[in-house]
């Protein structure tokens, strides 16, 4: 299917996720960008809203409607949760719809209702091909739920250990630092540069963050038993990037070699996940604008725990890059088409 040209519509194009989808598609060898849609910004030039997208600067945004989105081979939805489910339901069944929002990520309706307070819109194939057996489920799929940015990093960090039966299902602790783009582009006082530069703060503490059940879902599926997670997100003074520090109790008798082997094996053939050479730790800066996730782990024998650090770009591997990767798999394109692994540094 290489060489074909696919028409793609992108909704939510004035936001950060939509902008990153467009940035990646602008370099994708197999796609042409069709409708670019927005809500309140419809009618504006893209150059006024995403001034870094020079090649697309003169494209004019149209309304996010079913009419404007239908008729493309692929539709990316980068919309607030709730909105995407509503639109997706009206798009043709043979259109590949890729939802960067949360609506179709959770398998458990109860978890959805508890964390989102609304009726569950149903579950779609989950766009994290690095999960065990997941790549197969994405081939030929017509609906894909893009994982949350934190859950992407957390699952890449710990799933190999759960899948290999090396970790206890309780006292899993995950602390992540995210760049501010993860909080979106809506103007809010606490996200002003003056407020965020030079400081760090936590939010959504105590099990309140909506990405918690998504992490537990991934861990539980891998472990074959329910896993509970304590997750704390923090806001870091940088635009892009997530550094996740994930730590779990190691089962009795498991040592450093077995741990390293499990992660090595899990990612040996993955094009976008890399266990770094021993001694080198991930840095979010090294994956900026790249679809790469980098990992390192250490076994703390004294505390009986493994600590895994994972760095991703929240907008790329954490959102738009993961979405394009899943699109490639679904359409039978080379998985890496249009996706670089080199980060932008320094």
Residues that are catalytic: 149
Smallest distance from a copy of itself to CB 194, Å: 4
The nearer residue to a copy of itself, 90 or 280, going by C-beta atoms, is 280
Residue with the two structure tokens 């635009």: 239
Nearest CA to 166 among 310, 243, 264, 275?
264
DSSP conformation class of 117: -
The nearer residue to a copy of itself, 135 or 285, going by C-beta atoms, is 285
Smallest distance from a copy of itself to CB 163, Å: 21
Smallest distance from a copy of itself to CB 124, Å: 25
Sign of CA pseudo-dihedral 21, 27, 33, 36: positive
Q: What single string gives the DSSP state of each residue in 261-329?
A: HHHHHHHTT-SSEEEPPTT----GGGGTTSS-EEEEEEEETTTTEEEEEEEE-TTIIIIIHHHHHHHHH
The nearer residue to a copy of itself, 221 or 284, going by C-beta atoms, is 284
Smallest distance from a copy of itself to CB 326, Å: 20
Residue with the two structure tokens 């991930």: 282
The nearer residue to a copy of itself, 50 or 68, going by C-beta atoms, is 50
Angle between helices 212-223 and 149-163 (to 10 degrees): 20
Smallest distance from a copy of itself to CB 307, Å: 5
Q: CB neighbours of 289 closer than 8 A, spacing ≥ 6?
A: 23, 240, 313, 316, 340, 343, 344
The nearer residue to a copy of itself, 183 or 337, going by C-beta atoms, is 183
């Amino acid at each position: 299917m290489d060489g074909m040209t696919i028409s793609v519509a992108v909704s939510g194009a004035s936001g950060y996720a939509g902008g990153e989808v467009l940035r990646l598609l602008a370099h994708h060898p197999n796609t042409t960008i069709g409708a670019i849609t927005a809500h309140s910004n419809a009618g504006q030039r893209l150059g006024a809203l995403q001034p870094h997208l020079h090649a697309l600067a003169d494209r004019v945004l149209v309304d996010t409607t079913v009419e404007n989105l239908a008729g493309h081979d692929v539709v990316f939805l980068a919309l607030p949760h709730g909105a995407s489910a509503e639109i997706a339901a009206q798009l043709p069944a043979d259109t590949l719809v890729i939802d960067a929002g949360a609506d179709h990520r959770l398998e458990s309706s109860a978890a959805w209702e508890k964390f989102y307070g609304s009726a569950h819109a149903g579950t779609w194939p989950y766009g994290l091909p690095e999960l065990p057996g997941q790549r197969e489920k994405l081939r030929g799929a017509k609906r894909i739920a893009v994982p949350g940015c934190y859950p992407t990093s957390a699952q890449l960090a710990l799933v190999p250990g759960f899948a290999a039966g090396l970790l206890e299902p309780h006292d899993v602790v995950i602390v992540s630092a995210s760049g501010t783009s993860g909080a979106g582009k809506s103007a809010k006082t606490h996200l002003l540069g003056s407020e965020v530069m030079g400081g760090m703060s936590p939010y959504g503490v105590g099990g309140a963050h909506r990405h918690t059940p998504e992490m537990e879902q991934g861990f539980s599926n891998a472990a074959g038993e329910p896993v509970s997670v304590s997750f704390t997100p923090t806001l870091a003074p940088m635009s892009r990037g997530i550094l996740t520090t994930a730590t779990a109790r190691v089962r009795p008798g498991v040592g450093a070699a077995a741990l390293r082997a499990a992660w090595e094996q899990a990612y040996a053939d993955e094009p976008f996940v890399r266990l770094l050479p021993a001694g080198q730790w991930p840095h979010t800066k090294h994956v900026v604008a790249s679809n790469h996730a980098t990992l390192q782990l250490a076994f703390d024998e004294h505390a009986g725990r493994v600590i895994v650090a994972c760095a991703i770009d929240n907008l790329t591997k954490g959102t738009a890059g993961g979405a394009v990767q899943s699109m490639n798999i679904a359409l039978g394109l080379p998985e890496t088409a249009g996706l670089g692994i080199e980060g932008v540094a320094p």
